[in-house]
Amino acid sequence: MKSNTPIHLIASLVFLLLVNVNNAFAQKNNDSTYYKNTIKFNITNWILYNNVFMFSYERNVSEHQTFSVTGGYVEMPVFLPNRTGVKYNGSISKSGFTIGGDYRFYLPFENKFPAPHGLYIGPYISYYDFRSERHMEYTDTTGSTSTAIINSKINVGNLGVQLGYQFILSRRITIDLTLFAPSFSRYGIHLDATGALSDHAKEIIYNDVSQAIIDKFPLLDKLLTDKHVDASGSRNALAPGLKYCVYVGYHFGKR
């Protein structure tokens, strides 16, 4: 399992450290050291997901405004513990992707430097799609055992606003901290079992998976009060979301 250390705590500690480092470099920076483009790599999604590679490209559109596009490969680790009558075996396959973007307003009254250095605020949108196949065995009360393959599709769409701070060190290295980014999120779950399973067995299995997802996205628990997915295997829900992340990047392309 991944570390449960809160991402916002990590971001806060990194922010405090970088404020001091940034002050050391501030005297050396001027407008001529700033460039139009930044390519960045997300280092905090490793805490939430397995096998994740997420990148972002940020482009200046004016002295105090930029836009960014993000994307990458990501897998969601969903832990399914065995229970009486149900045994979950290893995954056959996992896959996933994410795509998104944002528009940033770097606040001129708070920043000594032009974008993309300093405090920013703005809207963002993101979409995650996760898919997996997993073997399982179900034993009913008569002792009869059935095998099946569970196919899961999970998607999460987010629309929100973010507050962050981006540092530029040694003219080229960037560290981008999203400090607070609430969102309005839509969660979709679709589960399908291929095999000779009764509707009762499917409901047990589907709700094991949905509970594992709720454990991964705690804010969803406030909306799914019954925590139940019926034999159809589908459930959609609206819930609040919250994002914290840290990107490390490279600044290039003169203005």
State pLDDT tens for residues 46-82.
Answer: 777 778 899 999 999 999 999 999 999 998 777 777 7
pTM: 0.81
Cα 167 to Cα 122, 182, 218, 222: the distances in Å are 17, 22, 31, 36
High-pLDDT (> 70) share of the chain, %: 80
Residue 248 — very low, low, confident or very high, per pLDDT cuts 50/70/90?
very high
User: Average per-residue pLDDT in the chain?
Assistant: 82
* For the chain, domain boundaries: 7-254
Distance CA 239, CA 205 (A): 23
Residue 4 — very low, low, confident or very high, per pLDDT cuts 50/70/90?
very low
| 24-55 pLDDT tens trace | 455 455 555 579 999 999 998 877 777 889 99
Select 7-254's CATH number: 3.40.50, 2.30.30, 2.60.40, 2.40.160.
2.40.160
Residue 126 — very low, low, confident or very high, per pLDDT cuts 50/70/90?
very high
Check whether the bond before 123 is cis (ω within 30° of 0): no
Cα 176 to Cα 113, 167, 191, 244: the distances in Å are 15, 6, 36, 11
Q: Calculate the CA dihedral of residues 120, 127, 132, 148 and round it to 10 degrees.
A: 130
Distance CA 16, CA 22 (A): 10
